[in-house]
Amino acid sequence: MSEMVHVGSGKVRELYALDAERMLLVASDRISVFDVVLPTAIPDKGRVLTGLAAFWFTRTRNICANHLLAIRKDGRSTECRKLEMLSIECVVRGYLAGSGWKDYQASGEVCGHRLPAGLRESDRLPQPIFTPATKATSGHDENITTAQAARLVGEKTFAEAQRLSIALYQFAADYARGRGIIIADTKFEFGVDREGRLVLGDEALTPDSSRFWPADEYAPGRPQPSYDKQFVRDFCERTDWNKTYPGPELPADVVAGTRARYIEAFEKLTGISFDQYLADPAVVL
């Protein structure tokens, strides 16, 4: 389409402007580990992310307005409302993992949230906590305090983003738990529309924006296997890669195993076969 203007590239998505109010987000099959995009793609990964995000957008409309307008026949292109994105990432954690676990060990707190003593790695938190981060233009996002986040976006917007993020997480975590997947934590991106309303944008509740754990293997006191990226992480650990650019090429069995896990996550969560999605992406709506 000639009227489409390419306006940017993220790690995973290509962004196009459709007109003054609408954008097209095209999810590629690129995969990043430790924030480095690898030279090898995972076939259909972009379709899984697109379908899953659209599935959640459709089911969370009553909690929070979102940017979704339509998904295209290719299964990887999302037509959405153009938003003025907030400069913070809205992270919700329901379990103690990653940087949260590190901070807790050092201080008994995660981003200013005082937690009970004696929690183990991967333990479920008494209640989900909101731990905003800055959007790093390159490299790792940085955790910030509630006060810093409120300064960046304004007190009122901050409070609203926090309330919506926790509500969205709680809904999705309950839903996923019933389907054998623990959503340990997740990241939302909100933007403001032309009327000044806070709207959920980007992707949401996908394996790329969340930590998905297989519920049947869950055992606190250690790190949990990642639902989607475990094969890639294990492979990377076996090489002598130093986790900076450029990353290693992935062998065929790692690609196939990873693709299968992404599709499995899609099918478990949506209850829809991925072939059905490929035939008609609108089945998730």
Ligand X SMILES: Nc1ncnc2c1ncn2[C@@H]1O[C@H](COP(=O)(O)OP(=O)(O)O)[C@@H](O)[C@H]1O
In three-state secondary structure terms, 159 is helix
Out of 47, 82, 187, 261, the only residue in the binding site for ligand X (CB under 6 A) is 82
Length of the chain: 285
Decide: is 39 part of the binding site for ligand X (CB under 6 A).
no
Q: What does the alpha-carbon distance between residue 185 and residue 172 come to, in Å, rounded to a whole number?
A: 11
List, edge to edge, every strand of the sheet that includes 5-9.
5-9, 13-17, 22-27, 77-81, 68-71
CB 131 within 8 A of CB 109: no
CB of 157 vs ligand X, minimal distance in Å: 16
CB of 96 vs ligand X, minimal distance in Å: 24
No. of helices (H) and no. of strands (E), the chain: 7, 17
CB of 10 vs ligand X, minimal distance in Å: 2
Decide: is 83 part of the binding site for ligand X (CB under 6 A).
yes
Q: What pairs with residue 263 in β-bridges?
A: none
CB 59 within 8 A of CB 43: no
Out of 46, 201, 207, 281, the only residue in the binding site for ligand X (CB under 6 A) is 201
Q: Which stretch binds ligand X (CB under 6 A): 82-90, 122-130, 152-160, 171-179?
A: 82-90
Decide: is 67 part of the binding site for ligand X (CB under 6 A).
yes
Decide: is 76 part of the binding site for ligand X (CB under 6 A).
no
Out of 29, 44, 103, 202, the only residue in the binding site for ligand X (CB under 6 A) is 202
Binding residues for ligand X (CB under 6 A): 10-13, 15, 23, 25, 67, 80-83, 85, 189, 191, 201-202
